[in-house]
């Protein structure tokens, strides 16, 4: 019921049906890390244990859906070094705390860690000549820090005939996703409320607090994440590391 962050890592298996998913991507597995909030107090050994846990899942890719840091990246460089050990392609989009703590500095560090910055970009994942769009957008707060966030420009070259997964830190970005033919949005930010009953306050700002939802033709999955903010404690909002397995759906 009570949980101290980074003491243990709970993997949750989440099947996701995608309409007209290419056959080559049936069974494609995505591990989602979110809301680590790494700072000077975060245990370095715990981060290496986390990476070992992630590698053991042998997923196809890893995605980090924001709030990786809660201290300037250069000040916690020794802790971030753990991510060099990740064995799968890893993609990052920013959260509000990444923006607050110096996103430009973090972006300089990410390539050295082998992490691909997907903020306001898209790539096409290819398997057996079939394609899947992976799109990322920076956190909603980035506009207050002179960081461009033009969703029309981001989606301009995204082929709508291919399934699309959007990485967006805050769940309420679903308002931008479902009009643009996004099949699945992966988010974090909420910590599942972190300490009950604060999830009621989260609901005043976000459409959903955690779990798997559908808005029109777009699915939304919100991870409760791993770390904490403020009080280093969770209560009735356990941490999680979701592994999402894509499955074909005819309709």
- DSSP line for 99-130: HHTTHHHHHHHHHHHTEEE-TTEEEEEEETTE
Helix (H) or strand (E) holding 48: helix 44-56
Residue 1 has a pLDDT of: 75
Q: How many CB atoms neighbour CB 152 within 10 A? A: 8
| Residues belonging to the chain | 251
Which of the pair, 249 or 56, is modelled with greater confidence? 56
| Reported confidence tier of residue 204, pLDDT bands at 50, 70, 90 | confident
| Reported confidence tier of residue 205, pLDDT bands at 50, 70, 90 | confident
Burial tier of 211 (Cβ tally within 10 Å: 0-12, 13-18, 19+): middle
pLDDT in tens, 114-168: 999 999 999 999 999 999 999 999 999 998 898 888 899 999 989 999 999 999 9
**Gap between the Cα atoms of 12 and 6, Å rounded:** 16
Residue 167 has a pLDDT of: 98
Q: Which of 119, 118, 55, 113 is CA-nearest to residue 82?
A: 113
**Gap between the Cα atoms of 5 and 43, Å rounded:** 10
Domain boundaries, the chain: 2-249
**Gap between the Cα atoms of 154 and 174, Å rounded:** 15
Q: Which fold has domain 2-249?
A: Purple Acid Phosphatase; chain A, domain 2 (3.60.21)
Q: Is 77 helix (H, G, I), strand (E, B) or coil?
A: helix
Q: What is the mean pLDDT of residues 40-66?
A: 98
Angle (CA) 56 210 40, round 5°: 60
Is the alpha carbon torsion for 115, 120, 126, 132 positive or negative?
A: positive
**Gap between the Cα atoms of 46 and 167, Å rounded:** 25
């Amino acid at each position: 019921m009570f949980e101290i962050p980074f003491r243990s890592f709970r993997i949750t298996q989440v099947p996701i049906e995608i309409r007209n998913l290419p056959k080559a991507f049936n069974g494609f597995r995505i591990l989602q890390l979110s809301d680590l909030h790494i700072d000077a107090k975060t245990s370095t050994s715990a981060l290496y244990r986390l990476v070992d846990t992630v590698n053991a899942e042998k997923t196809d890719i890893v995605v980090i859906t924001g709030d990786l840091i809660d201290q300037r990246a250069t000040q916690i460089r020794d802790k971030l070094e753990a991510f060099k050990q990740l064995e799968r392609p890893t993609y990052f989009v920013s959260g509000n705390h990444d923006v607050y703590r110096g996103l430009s500095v973090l972006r300089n560090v990410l390539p050295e860690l082998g992490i691909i910055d997907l903020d306001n970009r898209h790539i096409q994942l290819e398997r057996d000549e079939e394609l899947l769009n992976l799109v990322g957008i920076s956190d909603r707060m980035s506009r207050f820090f002179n960081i461009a966030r033009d969703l029309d420009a981001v989606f301009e070259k995204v082929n709508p005939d291919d399934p699309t997964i959007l990485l967006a830190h805050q769940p309420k970005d679903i308002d931008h996703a479902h009009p643009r033919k996004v099949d699945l949005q992966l988010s974090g930010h909420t910590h599942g409320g972190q300490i009950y009953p604060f999830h009621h306050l989260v609901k005043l700002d976000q459409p959903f607090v955690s779990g798997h939802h559908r808005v029109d033709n777009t699915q939304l999955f919100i991870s409760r994440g791993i770390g904490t903010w403020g009080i280093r404690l969770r209560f009735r909002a356990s941490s999680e590391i979701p592994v999402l397995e894509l499955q074909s759906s005819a309709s």
